[in-house]
């Protein structure tokens, strides 16, 4: 069985993430969508909320397992015996960062390969940070995230006020 990990903060999950997930499912028999507990930025949703939203949004995709990890992705991949990492690329700036990460991960976990999928042009500009900023300012995010996620963003920003 050919398996891969699609790691990320998913804070929140967007249609861009879902596009990469759906396309990765054409390449692999099983996909672990792995939520990073900690990342370079402070999360709006905690890890349990992000995992729960992903499980609900991805419930109709039986080849997916939603999980979470803390620490190094390479260590997680070794523990799960996974050889492939999926990463989405939007722009050249993404490639610079992702190449560094892919090379580092392959050094930390020899045999771990990264598969890059280019984001469709309809999602090229889309990022979780942008979605959060739109939601924070009261904008409509329905074109960018599933309805469940849009509602959770609205609820979350109401609590902040």
Residue 129 located in a structural domain: no
Residue 150 located in a structural domain: no
CA 103 to each of CA 2, 24, 96, 113: distance values in angstroms, whole numbers, following the listed order: 21, 20, 11, 9
- Catalytic hit among 30, 63, 68, 90: 90
- How many whole angstroms separate alpha carbon 80 and alpha carbon 101? 19
| Confidence band of 91 (pLDDT split at 50, 70, 90) | confident
Q: What is the CB neighbour count within 10 angstroms for residue 62? A: 9
* Total domains in the fold of the chain: 1
For residue 90, indicate whether it is catalytic. Answer: yes
Residue 149 located in a structural domain: no
For residue 61, indicate whether it is catalytic. Answer: no
Residue 109 located in a structural domain: yes
When pLDDT is averaged across residues 2-15 and rounded to a whole number, the result is 96
Q: What is the pLDDT of residues 31-82, one digit of tens each?
A: 999 999 876 678 899 999 999 999 999 999 999 999 999 999 999 999 999 9
Domain that holds residue 93: 3-124
Residue 103 located in a structural domain: yes
User: What is the pLDDT at residue 90?
Assistant: 87
For residue 68, indicate whether it is catalytic. Answer: no
Residue 132 located in a structural domain: no
User: What is the pLDDT at residue 40?
Assistant: 63
When pLDDT is averaged across residues 127-134 and rounded to a whole number, the result is 93
CA 50 to each of CA 2, 53, 54, 55: distance values in angstroms, whole numbers, following the listed order: 25, 5, 6, 9
For residue 26, indicate whether it is catalytic. Answer: no
Q: Above 60 in pLDDT, residue 161?
A: no
pTM score:
0.93
Q: What is the CATH number of the domain that holds 35?
A: 3.40.50.620
């Amino acid at each position: 069985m050919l398996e891969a990990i699609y790691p990320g903060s998913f804070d929140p999950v967007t249609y861009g993430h879902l596009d990469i997930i759906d396309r990765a499912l054409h390449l692999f028999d099983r996909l672990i969508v792995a939520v990073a507990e900690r990342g370079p930025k402070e999360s709006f949703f905690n890890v349990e909320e992000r995992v729960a939203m992903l499980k609900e949004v991805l419930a109709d995709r039986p080849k997916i397992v939603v999980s979470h990890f803390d620490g190094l992705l390479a260590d997680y991949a070794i523990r799960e015996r996974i050889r492939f990492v999926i990463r989405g690329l939007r722009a050249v700036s993404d490639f610079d960062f992702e190449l560094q990460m892919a090379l580092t991960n392959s050094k930390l976990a020899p045999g771990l390969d990264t598969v890059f999928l280019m984001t469709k042009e309809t999602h090229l500009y889309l990022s979780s940070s942008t979605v959060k900023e739109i939601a924070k300012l009261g904008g409509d995010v329905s074109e960018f995230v599933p309805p469940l996620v849009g509602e959770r963003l609205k609820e979350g920003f109401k609590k902040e006020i």
